[in-house]
Amino acid sequence: MNAHDDVARFRADDDARIVAASFACPVCLGLDAAARLVLVPDDSEVECSCSGCATEWSVAVDAAQVLRLVLHPPVAPDDAPLRMLPPRTPGAPWSRPRAA
Ligand SMILES: [Zn+2]
């Protein structure tokens, strides 16, 4: 199990602004961050990076929260400036470089 800096506190059916607030910067409380979902069975997390102060942190997410972030990410630029980057799946057979 990985160590996480925080745990996401939103429900799968919450408003996009609530979802984005779960990934607010822990230092400057800025919402303008880049976030990448890292998919690991039973231990997924979101790696975050603040645009304002360059702080990096991670937030643990459960299966329902992963589903919400994949199917309906908070992308409204005015209400939720969080930028969701394409997910990463470390160690998955389909993510390895292909043999030549
Ligand atoms: Zn910050």
Q: For 38-93, write each residue's pLDDT tens digit.
A: 998 889 999 999 988 999 999 999 999 999 998 888 765 565 567 778 778 776 65
| 69 vs 60: CA distance, rounded Å | 12
Distance, CA 44 to ligand 1 centroid (Å)?
Answer: 22
Mean pLDDT of 92-97: 55
pLDDT of residue 55: 93
Distance, CA 6 to ligand 1 centroid (Å)?
Answer: 15
| pTM of the complete model | 0.77
The helix/strand/coil state of 77 is coil
Between strands 45-50 and 33-38, the pairing is antiparallel
Distance, CA 84 to ligand 1 centroid (Å)?
Answer: 16
pLDDT of residue 1: 47
- Judge whether residue 24 has pLDDT over 80: yes
Where is pLDDT greater, at 95 or 27? 27
Q: Structural domain boundaries of the chain? A: 6-88
